[in-house]
Structure 1
Amino acid sequence: MMTHRNTLKFAYWVPNVSGGLVVSTIEQRTDWSYDYNVKLAQTAEKNGFDYALTQIRFTAGYGAENQHESVSFSHALLAKTEKLKVIAAILPGPWKPALAAKQLATIDYLTEGRIAVNVVSGWFKGEFDAIGEEWPEHDERYVRSEEFIKTLKGIWTQDNFSFQGKYYTFNNYTLKPKPIQKPTIEVFQGGSSRAARDMASRVSDWYFTNGNTVEEIKKQIDDIKEKAKQHNHEVKIGVNAFIIARDTEEEAQAVLQEIIHKANIEAVHAFGDATKEAGAASKEGEGNWAKSSFEDLVQYNDGFKTNLIGTPQQIAQRIIDLKHVGVDLILSGFLHFIEEIEYFGKHVLPLVRELEEQ
């Protein structure tokens, strides 16, 4: 019998940023407003979703003309839900670990342990330039993020915490009250590069990777798990996927083709140019988006590549295939969030749970 611990987890991207999840002029019945997001969070909670991930953006671009700040927005959604855990995205640089640790510990206390954090190393150079923040070279950004995570966990678990790093220093610092969650608030991170995977294998609780084929995802997972063993550490894996579930495969594929056909070509190319400074900037050229085509970039995090596009039965089986190679969580994007999460909860998730029992 499956235990809750062994079941796949599901998360969705919170549209706290305008423009939806695809860089396309196709109709997206998704809104970045608070009222829409409250209804969406409550819908997701009722339909079997475990997590919601808020986005962090400081500047407009690629259709994201408006952005609500991630941590305060996460707290606002938590206040309107009962079980959902919300993952707040935070950027080292604009955030310092002392502030983040205290901010998140307070939210954890107020929500009885339902906050998590996604430490984003920062791919968008233009954003850092606009707000006057340093944008170190690729691998160095992960050095900073690793220190950020180490100091968060140290502050949350130790009294008189001291740390001497390249980017952060603490001297006998004690935070009280500490978070309710034990051992700490869950820490997520993203990336596909060597530096990102190595950091995950040492310090992160969860590793998010961009969408990809089962075979390529397996390679990443096997690599991370092996490295984590060497550090006596365990890390769980989340995979990005843009889900198009329809009654027939033809309907689902037609939606995909319409999204791509109506792509905002100028915005996609601008996004592609910016990502080259991030993914391809890794030493081995294997970071996020390093091998993404124009069609892939229409969905911000290569969500089409995961191929959760088709009938409920097709999607459920592909989700199980991902589980079999070590995926623990599906991070989902949708075209029309509320109605499609309802459809997913009614038609896809029950099939996934049935297949997990087999």
Structure 2
Amino acid sequence: MPVEFLGIATTNDQSETSARSTRPFDLGYLERLVRAHADNGWTRVLFAYGSSGPEPAALAAHVAARVPDIELLLAHRPNVSYPTYAAKTFATLDQLSGGRLSVHFITGGNDHEQRREGDTLTKDERYARTQEYIQVVKQAWASDEPFDHHGPFYDFDDFVLDTKPFEGRTPTISFGGSSDAAYRVGAAEADIYAVWGEPLDRTREQIERVHAEAAAAGRTPPPRIHAAFRPIVAPTTELAWEKAHRVLDRIEARKAAAGGTLSRRHPITSPENAGSQRLLAIAAAGERYDDVLWTATAKATGGAGNSNALVGTPEDVAQALLAYYDLGVRVISARGYDLLDDAIDFGRYVIPLVREGVAERDARAAAAARADEPAVADEPAA
């Protein structure tokens, strides 16, 4: 089965380890970064969402017109628009990009960040709203006739989209979260379920939970699984770990210079969202898992999003990723701390090894299937 790779698209080069050296809104940097992903084997790039950041749909439209050979993943929060408007925006972007759009729905795990844009619902209410929102978007994409909707969060009559997604396709919907409500909603509605990189046994537990919730919702097959990591790669294992500790030192230095914080969006201590709580609990239990998974970066950032690292040579990291593939992970998100150079290096040195390993697995599976086929008796002569 194919494996896909997700990178990041952003308008400046700031990361947890360094202040930006570009302008805050640098279209040239955005295009170079996306072009680097497209030229080095990545499948798609993510346009992230934050209350203070640039509007990601506009950035995706800009990139769609300038980089024609990479897919686009648009992050979207349901609190910022009505679902009929969102369905129209997504369909328009899918047309502009020639069918390259996917949408990642973010329910929101931080009450304070949500209130910055007027969202005062509780966490469980937000998940219920997200499910209704996704259902409306799907119906708008699919329906050729006007329809009415009367739900707990949205109420409208006689809506139909004249502009549908490109050539009748349905853009892929992805979704993430580690709470009970997240598993329930995402497993019922999403095509891809996103988890943050955790040790193999914890990842297996999450996949089993998603599959169980999908079965309970009558979903066959279940969503594909997406796992996210921060690769720290060097030519030798020793150099990779030296690099990893330099990364950690730079994170701590930036945090100290900023008075103990890294982002207005995420607290260093006591995060509200279940995913970050899981990452911090794993980090508290141990710093290194499965040889190459390193939790020190997650601990230093408060479990802020994609923050567990994979440390090693390209071969080490590729073998680690293939172990996740063997669990059922089919989409790998990888973002380095030097966004541009690390995207190039990961694409050149790690992605080909992972794809080679997947191809070998596919070939073995095909050979085994052929071996299991019953022999066909020769037809009798006339």
Normalising TM by the smaller chain, what interval?
0.7 to 0.9
Alpha carbons of structure 1 residues 11 and 169: separation in structure 2 relative to 1, 3 Å:
same
**Please, which of 122, 125, 139 is the counterpart of residue 154 of structure 1?**
139
TM-score scaled to structure 1, two decimals? 0.86
**Please, which of 2, 10, 16 is the counterpart of residue 7 of structure 1?**
2
Corresponding residue for residue 41 of structure 1: 34
Alpha carbons of structure 1 residues 210 and 129: separation in structure 2 relative to 1, 3 Å:
same
Corresponding residue for residue 272 of structure 2: 278
Inter-partner Cα distance in structure 2 for 1:30 and 1:341: 20
Answer yes or no: is 1:57 the counterpart of 2:59.
no
Corresponding residue for residue 144 of structure 1: 129
Corresponding residue for residue 19 of structure 1: 14
Say if 1:41 and 1:81, in contact at 8 Å, map to a contact too.
yes
Higher relative CO (Cα under 8 Å, sequence separation at least 6) belongs to 1
Letter in 1 for 2:359: E
Where do 4+ consecutive residues of structure 1 move more than 6 Å? 26-31
Letter in 2 for 1:353: R
Corresponding residue for residue 322 of structure 2: 320
Aligned length: 336
Corresponding residue for residue 196 of structure 1: 182
Inter-partner Cα distance in structure 2 for 1:29 and 1:94: 28
- Taking only the aligned residue pairs, the percentage that are identical comes to 23
Inter-partner Cα distance in structure 2 for 1:32 and 1:255: 29
Inter-partner Cα distance in structure 2 for 1:110 and 1:288: 35
Inter-partner Cα distance in structure 2 for 1:181 and 1:199: 28
RMSD between superposed Cα atoms in Å: 2.5
Letter in 2 for 1:44: H
1:278 is displaced (CA, Å) by: 2.7
Inter-partner Cα distance in structure 1 for 2:9 and 2:23: 10
Alpha carbons of structure 1 residues 278 and 182: separation in structure 2 relative to 1, 3 Å:
farther
Inter-partner Cα distance in structure 1 for 2:261 and 2:97: 38
Equivalences for 1:159-198 in 2 at 5 Å? 159-180=145-166, 182-198=168-184
Corresponding residue for residue 235 of structure 2: 247
Consecutive unaligned residues of structure 1, counting only runs of 5 or more, are: 1-5, 60-66, 280-285
Letter in 1 for 2:136: T
Alpha carbons of structure 1 residues 104 and 272: separation in structure 2 relative to 1, 3 Å:
closer
1:269 is displaced (CA, Å) by: 9.1
Letter in 2 for 1:345: G
Q: Deviations over 1:259-317 (max 9, x none)?
A: 222321411597664774532xxxxxx44434415741545645453x42210000110
Corresponding residue for residue 117 of structure 1: 103
Corresponding residue for residue 267 of structure 1: 261
Corresponding residue for residue 63 of structure 1: none
Corresponding residue for residue 283 of structure 1: none
Letter in 2 for 1:267: T
TM-score scaled to structure 2, two decimals? 0.81
Answer yes or no: is 1:235 the counterpart of 2:223.
yes
**Corresponding residue SS for 2:214:** helix
